[in-house]
């Protein structure tokens, strides 16, 4: 069991590092695309037609991967009243409800991504599956972080700020 726990914690740390790097790259790309849009629109008078759509898709990816990283760090909002009054119930109930919701989101995201594979973006040649793929990827990463949390400390609530990830 200790070996499984060590593997899970190592995988969690590695995935979190990759998430942080990917978010940094995507935020840089989002900033560059938005800056290019502002420059071409207001200085050159001829806006880039694809930049708004590209920025939207980049923002969705940043949001989903950022949400996964926030799950790992316990950075999502929670009801402190429930956590304080029923710590044992909250430690079990909250991750269970979240995992059910995320499993549904993962399944729905996979189905929607398959449907979107036949569509193209409006302003540039990209299949929409790449935009929709953010949903199952984000849900899968959140599920991974929740599962590792349950392995790491099954009786501690995910939002307990005193129990930070290792």
Give percent of the chain with pLDDT exceeding 90: 58
Distance of alpha carbon 99 from alpha carbon 57, whole angstroms: 25
Whether the per-residue pLDDT at 151 is higher than 90: the answer is: no
Distance of alpha carbon 73 from alpha carbon 68, whole angstroms: 9
Q: Provide the whole-model pTM.
A: 0.86
User: Mind listing the pLDDT tens digit for each residue in 50-102?
Assistant: 999 999 999 999 999 999 999 888 777 665 666 667 666 666 777 788 899 99
The pLDDT confidence band at residue 119, using thresholds 50, 70 and 90, is: very high
Which pLDDT does position 158 carry in this prediction?
Answer: 66
Name the average pLDDT for the chain: 87
Whether the per-residue pLDDT at 162 is higher than 50: the answer is: no
User: Mind listing the pLDDT tens digit for each residue in 21-36?
Assistant: 999 999 999 999 999 9
Distance of alpha carbon 84 from alpha carbon 90, whole angstroms: 9
Which pLDDT does position 152 carry in this prediction?
Answer: 82
H/E run at residue 150: helix 134-152
Output the CA torsion sign for 23, 29, 30, 32: positive
Which pLDDT does position 161 carry in this prediction?
Answer: 46
Domain segments of the chain as ranges: 2-152
């Amino acid at each position: 069991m200790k070996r499984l726990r060590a593997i899970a914690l190592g995988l969690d740390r590695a995935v979190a590092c990759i998430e942080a790097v990917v978010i940094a790259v995507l935020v840089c790309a989002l900033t560059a695309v938005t800056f290019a849009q502002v420059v071409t629109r207001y200085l050159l008078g001829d806006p880039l037609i694809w930049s708004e759509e590209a920025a939207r898709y980049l923002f969705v990816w940043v949001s989903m991967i950022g949400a996964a990283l926030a799950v790992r760090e316990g950075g999502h909002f929670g009801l402190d009243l429930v956590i304080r009054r029923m710590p044992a119930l909250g430690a079990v109930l909250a991750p269970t409800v979240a995992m059910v919701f995320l499993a549904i989101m993962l399944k729905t995201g996979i189905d929607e991504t398959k449907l979107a594979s036949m569509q193209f973006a409006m302003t540039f040649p990209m299949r929409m599956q790449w935009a929709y793929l953010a949903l199952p990827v984000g849900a899968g990463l959140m599920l991974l972080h929740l599962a590792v949390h349950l392995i790491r400390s099954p009786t501690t609530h995910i939002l307990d700020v005193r129990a930070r990830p290792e």
